[in-house]
Each structure stands twice: as C-alpha cells, then as structure tokens.
Amino acid sequence: MALRGIWIILLAASPLGADGGLRPLEALNSELPRWMRFDGEYRARFEDQENMLWRGANSDRYLLNRVRFGMTLRPREWMTFYGQAQDARVFFPRKFTHGPPLQDTLDLRQAWVQLGNEDKFPLQLRVGRQELIFGEERMVGASNWNNIARTFQAVKLTLRAERLGGLKLDTFASTVVAPREGSWDGSLPGDNLHGAYAVFDRLLGQGTVEPYFYWRLSPTAVKDTGSLGLRVTKTFGKRWYASSDTILQRGSLGKQSVAAWATYWRVRRTLSERRWRPTVTGDVNLSSGDRDPSDGRFQTFDVLYPTPHDKYGLADQVGWKNIRHFGGFLEVTPRRNWTLQAKFHTWWLGSARDGLYAPGGSLVLRDSSGLSGRHVGEEIDVQFLWKPAKDTEVSGGVGHMLNGEFLKKMTPGRSYTFYYLSLTRKL
C-alpha cells in the first residue's frame, strides 16, 4: 500500500504540462470575459505514521487526496463574488476512519461577496464563508496543511490608511465551520471568534508592527476537572518585525479566571549569498501552563484556531500550550528550484502538573501529580522542497522523535516517526 501511494504521487508529478504551456483553467480563462475566472488546485500526500501515541503496533499509512475548484465573478470593479468547492478524501487507512479530520467529501468550502477593493478603495467588506489568515497564522489561520483545512462564517471589514504608517486594519466577527462527512458543513452555535488585526508597514523603519486583539466565546471548553464550561477570553498580542510575538490572555472559564501568556522569538541569518545560500534559524516558543489545577485559576494558553504545522516540529506532535520549545534549523538551496532543510527541536513542559497538548490545542497526556517530569523529548527533521514547474510543488520529509522523561513515564515509550511525500499542482 505504501508503494502504491508513493507511485501515484510520483506519476502525478511527472513533467506533463511542465513545458510552460497554459494550464487547463488558464486556457479556459483566456476564452472567457474578464469579469469571470476559474481556479483550481489538486493535492496528493502520502503519509506514514509509525508508533502513534508512542505505542508499538500502532501505525498507519494512507494517501490523502484533495481537489478544489473555484469561480470568481466581478461584475463591477468594486463588487466580487467567489465560490469554492472542495473534495477531500483518504485512501487505504487502517486505523483512521473515512471522515474528519482526513475526509470531507464534496462540499462548499468558500462562498462570499466582497464590496470594495483594498488596492483601490480605503474600505472593503467581505461577507460569507471565507478564510481568515493573520500574521504567521500561529493564532488564526486556514490550516491548509490539513486535508480539509479551515474556513469561517465571517463578516470582515478592511481599512487601508497609507498615511498612518501604511496601516491595514482587519476587523471581523466569525464562527468556525465544522466539517461533517456525509452532510453539509456548518458552523458551531455559540462558538464565536471576533477581533481586530492591524499591520503597520512603515511605522518603525522597514519592518512591520502588528498589534491585534481576539475575543473568543466557546460554550464547550474543557476545564481542569474535565467537565465543560463557557470560555470567554480576550487575547492581546503584538507581532514585531515578523521575528517575535508577545501575547496575553485574560477572561474566564466557567467559574475560573483565565490568566495565560505566550511568546516566541526568532533569529535568522543567511551565512552566504553564494551558491547553496546557507541560512540558519533559531526559534524559541514559550507558553503558559496551569501550575495548580485546584487553585481556581486557569493558566493554560489557548491557541485559538492556528495553522501549527512544522512550527514546533515536522511530526506535529507538540503544540504551543504549556510548552518550552527550542529549535535550530539549517536551510540550503543547491539549485534554484530545490530547497533542503535540517531541523532540531527540544521541548519541556511549562508546568509539570499540566499536560502535553497537540498542535491544534487538544490535550494528549497529563500527570496532574507532576511526578512524570517536564522533559518531553527531541525531534530531528529532514525535509525537501522541489518546484519542477511554476505551478507544481513536490515536497517530502521525515520527522523522528526521541522520547524524554515525560513520554517514557506516561506512554509505552516507543519512538514516533512521521514520513510524507506531497504533490500540489494548480489546475
């Protein structure tokens, strides 16, 4: 089965259509009036997960397949309609089911109307099912690595003010769309995210400053006791020069008060502009955890609706909650369309009495006694990216975890390994 999935991807990545000719939808668009355009994307990804949840004989290999087809109608310069259908499927799984988060057969992914054009008008209003993408997507994003990805039912107003430091301000009210295999996707009643995200391009020198605010209301948040409660949190953050972020959260979870924080710092340097162009990066990601589950205060950071893939490890086993993450990366470009990466990660729990969380925010393991230690482990990643044509991208990689004290005590202790090979092609 593994070879079957890999051969499908390699065959699809063959140089058919890579000679610079028009793609099928490009050819179609060239025959249509300018106010009508079609777009599309095909993605196939083979994944192999060995020793899931750090247990032996708990592995799975499968092929993910995703097709998107969109249509844009622009009857006026200031009016745009957009719709996008998506079909996401999984083939050959043994452990996973044919449903979310891997499968959601043909459904309406986006459907919005936009009034205004931010490139020509100071105000733009977009209403309907849409992506919300802010900053590096650490808090709110489309999570496009996932086979289904994420959209919101939202109203978003965008303001442009070039004289105010190149300001772009997005304000929005939204609710996340929940995938439902076998029926139309719909929103979660009462689960709302509202906020404002500002980007100043020229406020201080050449870098960007991005202050933001998110207000989340969730009726089914999990409390320390494991029961459900109403979460009302306000998140205040400031992203600086795309290399650091400082975040504070305040609010309530049931009868508990919420006081949480997170921060990250990045240092990046290109060692040489000559061939291979070696670049090194250092990352630090810190977030608060709950020090005492019985003190009436909830201190675990909430990641909201992130795009977390490969930010804290290629294997995607550790999230930005109750964590101390340190990473070092080396990237080289041996050829113009080839990129090679090697990465190292290490993680420690912020609070030994809180737990280990997945990248999406769900709890994976917890020892409320705090006796299992704080060292989660390390990870070594190797990854490549190849662009054989302007509209085709092939990537692959391996992420291998080395278990620390916490995982050795809380699980059977088998090392988890993740392999993937992916193809993305514009239609």
Structure tokens belonging to residue 380: 């070594």
What pLDDT does residue 21 have?
65
Spatial contact of 385 and 28, defined as CB atoms under 8 Å apart: no
Place of tokens 């209003």: 125
Residues 12-39: pLDDT tens digits?
555 544 445 678 888 898 889 999 999 9
Q: Identify the CA nearest to 420 among candidates 12, 60, 55, 51.
A: 60
Q: Identify the CA nearest to 318 among candidates 250, 399, 214.
A: 399
What pLDDT does residue 274 have?
83
CATH no., domain 2-13+22-426: 2.40.160.100
Q: What share of the chain is helix, strand, coil (3-state, %, to 5)?
A: 5, 55, 35
Is the predicted pLDDT of residue 7 greater than 70, yes or no? no
- Cis peptide before 122, with omega less than 30 degrees from 0? no
Residues 51-91: pLDDT tens digits?
999 999 999 999 999 999 999 999 999 999 999 999 999 99
Residues 265-296: pLDDT tens digits?
999 999 988 889 999 999 999 999 999 888 88
Report domain extents, the chain.
2-13+22-426
Residues 177-220: pLDDT tens digits?
999 998 899 888 889 999 999 999 887 766 789 999 999 998 87
Residues 365-385: pLDDT tens digits?
999 999 999 999 999 999 999
Number of CB atoms found within 10 A of residue 77's CB: 11
Spatial contact of 155 and 173, defined as CB atoms under 8 Å apart: yes
